Chain A
Amino acid sequence: MKIAICIKQVPGTAQVEIDPVTGVLKRDGVESKMNPYDLYALETALRFKQQYGAELTVITMGPPQAKAVIREAFMMGVDHGFLLSDRRFGGADVLATSYTLSQGLRAAGDFDLIICGKQTTDGDTAQVGAELAEFLNIPHVTSVCKIHGIESDRITVDLDLPLHIHTAEVKFPCLITVEKGIFEPRLPSYKLKLATADREIKVLTLDDLADKDPAHYGLNGSPTQVKRIFPPEHSNTREMWNGDADELSVRLFHFLNDNKYLQQLR
């Protein structure tokens, strides 16, 4: 069984500042790390490797520095790594990113299963997994919170839907995106760091892809453009309520309910 895992390098801290004037992310001096959600995708795949002997390949798109997250995946037990890196891929929105990844995956090999994290911590769109599956013309399941098991040609999983859990059986090849917390991600191993120090990371440029039309990639292939990025305004409005516990608890419940802070529980 061959599994591909899509990973991404993101800023190392959640407190990324946005320049309120230019709307540009302040990346200077900010360290990078693997998208935390991808760690759950990797852990899911690594368990399949241990249990079923699957062969694991990671793929990422980004500048040459993004090799660091591939090295880190090697340190966790992944076998192969591909970096999609080309200036012509730059400025891609979710659609162009998904398309580029789909082309990269076709060039990287035949995979039975593709695993993505739920979303990234820098874009937070949670769209790439599903769009990628559409471009590859394979079925996909998002929000996977539990794996029941794998048979020769299919996988059975639970999806975490807002009001219920949905169990699905999907035939290979397919794509799943996994929820945070599906498994506790393992830590990178120093022994594997030493053992994989010389392992090759294959770099794919536009010239290595089947569709070589630059209009389909990067800024050119992106129907959405970022108009403005701005930090959300914080509201410091406060209300003080006084009263006895019974009265206040009822009032608080109605306040939360009326302002739609409460969800119906499963």
Chain B
Amino acid sequence: MAHSYKTFAAEDLAALQAICGMERVIPGDQIGEDYTHDELSGTHSRPDVLVKAISTEEVSAVMKYAFANHIPVTPRGSGTGLVGGSVALCGGIMLDLTLMNHFLELDEENMTLTLEPGVLLMDVGKYVEPAGLFYPPDPGEKTATIGGNINTNAGGMRAVKYGVTRDYVRGLEVVLANGEIMNLGGKVVKNSSGYSLKDLIVGSEGTLGVVTKAILRLLPLPKHKISLLVPFPDLPSAIKAVPTVIRASSIPTAVEFMEREVILAAEEFLARKFPDNTSDAYLLLTYDGASREEVDLAWEEAAEICLKCGALDVFISNTQERNESIWSARGAFLEAIKASTTEMDECDVVVPRKHVAEFVLFSHALQQKHNVRIRSFGHAGDGNLHIYVLKDSLDEAAWKVKLKEVFADLYAKANELGGKVSGEHGIGYAKKPYLAESLSTDEKLLMKGIKTVFDPQNILNPNKLFTE
């Protein structure tokens, strides 16, 4: 799939400015540094031009021009990705969709929300909640765009009970590589009408088409919720309790595990104490429901199960202030770990739930084997782990080698347990070799075949997902 692209020239800039106007088409040398990278450290590349589109028609016209002239296009939302997915590695056009940030329709009868891709995740909940509706996916990065969430099939903490972004995408408007505008799916609840192209687009990281509109499925807003902070004597006992908790009569909304070291880092980072830091390991469970009674039944059963599984106690967080004291710390874990070291890289594997304990303990043991600091926390309830390898005082060369060795061990183990390379962050640029290693030859051929059908010239977000 190696392609050589047209060298971006003054005439291309002029053509794009003719489509979108001077103000929203910014030449390469005037593009801000932010647009040269995402949240993945160490990967920088400057696009030749930044186009801030405001309509589907503009996106279509830009794609038609790029298609006719063989110019690569990298779609981008807020740039909060963690794997380099929205970095213009081959130069060309960076297609910024953040100005397409309008809510188009809240259809209460069909319980759907139609919106543009640049709407921020944090604004979706605020928009639908006054109508008593709820958009369940809850990825940690609230300033991400919904378009970015769709393109990575982002997950988040509520996946245990509610699933991931793909489960809430009913329909998409997509601009294809050749500029054609397609409507995939719709407001229908059921659909057995041929291949689900909409589901192929979800999680495709901008390599198959540009999402310009989405119809999201909503649920009734659960009015009551409670969190339980459950201390355990050690991590194995905490994580081993998870399958039993999930199999109880009510499914928790979220099951997170956290260790004392990470809590202490968050306390230091936020200059605020956590409600309890005396135990080595904790589970954080959340329950929600339509009535107080329903929620009480659910959490009391879970509390009993936890005590039977060796929990030291079960702490109850039932008010806004209490939830805030716990979740503000939980929300700061990533930044706190980042602040405790010089650089870090992350492994976002997902393994079948029953292997979570085994995998976490395996990753802990790697600290000794490779003599490197490793921190983890994550979604114990859905098997998606966030494991951070910390550079600390290693020099650049040693760090690169170390990282490669640790990651090789982690992905090999995940593969052995039936896991996948990425649970929710995607493959982007950073995880390409690991994806290549984990897929069978036939699976790779199928994926590349799909890519070729959608984007025969390989102009859409090239150099992502697949090793050339």
A interface residues (Cβ-Cβ under 8 A, vs B): 12-14, 31, 33-34, 36, 39, 75, 183-191, 193
Contact = CB atoms under 8 A, between A and B. Distances in A.
A14 B319 CA distance: 11
Interface string B318-336: 1111100100000000000
B226 to A, nearest CB: 11
A13 B315 contact: no
Interface in B315-358: 315-322, 325
Given A13-B320, A36-B321, A39-B321, A188 B273 contact: no
A184 B274 contact: yes
A218 to B, nearest CB: 29
Given A34-B319, A184-B275, A190-B300, 7 more contacts: A185-B322, A186-B275, A187-B315, A188-B315, A188-B318, A189-B314, A190-B315
Interface in B294-324: 300, 303, 307, 313-322
B276 interface: yes
29 contacts: A14-B320, A34-B319, A36-B319, A36-B321, A39-B321, A75-B316, A183-B273, A184-B273, A184-B274, A184-B275, A185-B325, A186-B275, A186-B276, A187-B275, A187-B317, A188-B316, A188-B318, A189-B315, A189-B316, A190-B228, A190-B300, A190-B303, A190-B307, A190-B314, A190-B315, A190-B316, A191-B307, A191-B314, A193-B316
Nearest to B321: A36
A7 to B, nearest CB: 14
Q: Is the interface of B mostly helix, strand, loop or mixed?
A: mixed
Nearest to B302: A190
B144 interface: no
Nearest to A37: B321
B3 interface: no
A187 B316 contact: yes
Contacts of B314: 189-191
Given A39-B321, A186-B276, A191 B313 contact: yes
A31 B296 CA distance: 14
A155 B408 CA distance: 59
B272 interface: yes
A179 B321 CA distance: 15
A74 B317 CA distance: 15
Interface string B373-414: 000000000000000000000000000000000000000000
A188 B316 CA distance: 5
B206 to A, nearest CB: 36
Interface residues of B, number: 22
A33 B319 contact: yes
A57 to B, nearest CB: 22
B390 to A, nearest CB: 27
Which 4 pairs from chain A and chain B are nearest by CB?
A187-B315, A184-B273, A190-B314, A190-B303
Contacts of A13: 320
Contacts of A184: 272-275, 325
Contacts of A183: 273
Contacts of A14: 320
B276 A187 contact: yes
B95 interface: no
Nearest to A14: B320
A34 B318 CA distance: 11
B121 interface: no
Contacts of B59: none
A187 B322 contact: yes
A33 B292 CA distance: 14
Nearest to B312: A191
Contacts of B275: 184-187
B25 interface: no
A193 B319 CA distance: 17
A194 to B, nearest CB: 9
B50 interface: no
Interface string B264-299: 000000001111100000000000000010000000
Contacts of B313: 189-191
Contacts of B262: none
B62 interface: no
Nearest to A121: B321
Given A184-B272, A186-B275, A191-B307, A12 B315 contact: no
Interface string B225-241: 00011000000000000
Q: Which of A12, A31, A75, A190 has the most CB of B within 10 A?
A: A190
Contacts of B276: 186-187
Nearest to B326: A187
B273 A187 contact: no
Contacts of A34: 319
Contacts of A39: 321
Contacts of B229: 187
Q: Which of A12, A13, A186, A187 has the most CB of B within 10 A?
A: A187
Q: Which of A13, A14, A186 has the most CB of B within 10 A?
A: A186
Interface in B95-111: none
A30 B317 CA distance: 18
B392 to A, nearest CB: 29
A13 B300 CA distance: 23
A190 B274 CA distance: 18
Contacts of B300: 190
